[in-house]
Amino acid sequence: MNKFPNMDSLQINNQTFQIFIPEPEILARIAQLAHILQTDYQNTRPLFLAVLNGSFMFASDLLKCLHIECEIQFVKLSSYQGMQSTGKVSELIGLNQSIANRDIIILEDIIDSGLTMHELLQSVQKLQPKSIEVCALLLKPEALKVPLQIKYVGFEVGNEFLLGYGLDYDGLGRNLRHIFKL
């Protein structure tokens, strides 16, 4: 890992990453998102479902900017081989309360192919919330493989690999305060 966090580039596992979205820009955009959410969810006490691991920084900074009543739960989509021959099964884990009749906002770090979000939406839908919307810090529109309605997006980006501010490369870099690009 780079010993000089203020530099414009860093190396992780022999890959060089350049700074792409600096922290002040990330935080300014998050404040705008929070402002919009605050208007849309006044008096509804929304429940945020923050998808681990990538969304932890985004969720933290976004919720600090929100001045409405709200709740948050951290969830994960765990993939495992099913007992049946059908192969991959995903299970929503971490949700320990009923979400029936609640207004749900899923917080995700980045949407790439959209397959993860597609599965997550199906799992959440089954629990019969009143409404579901997605708030993603980053979206790669050209990479989408399934149609998705993402109402709240921080930044639309190209098909590049990003790192930092929650996003990892081989488990590293989640702690970086800026978003870097390969």
Q: Which residues are catalytic?
A: 112
Nearer to Mg ion, 46 or 166 (CB): 166
Give Cα 53 to chain centroid, integer Å. 9
CB of 173 to ligand IMP, least distance (A): 9
Helix (H) or strand (E) holding 133: strand 131-139
Picked from ligand IMP, Mg ion, none, the partner binding residue 9 (CB below 5 to 8 A depending on kind) is none
Cα separation, 87 vs 156, in Å, equals 33
CB 65 within 8 A of CB 36: no
CB 26 within 8 A of CB 179: yes
Cα separation, 35 vs 40, in Å, equals 9
Residue 21 within binding range of ligand IMP, rule CB under 6 A: no
Picked from Mg ion, ligand IMP, none, the partner binding residue 103 (CB below 5 to 8 A depending on kind) is none
CB of 58 to ligand IMP, least distance (A): 11
Kindly identify the residues of this chain, within the stretch 59-118, that bind ligand IMP according to CB under 6 A: 108-117
Positions touching ligand IMP (CB under 6 A) are 54, 108-117, 161-163, 167
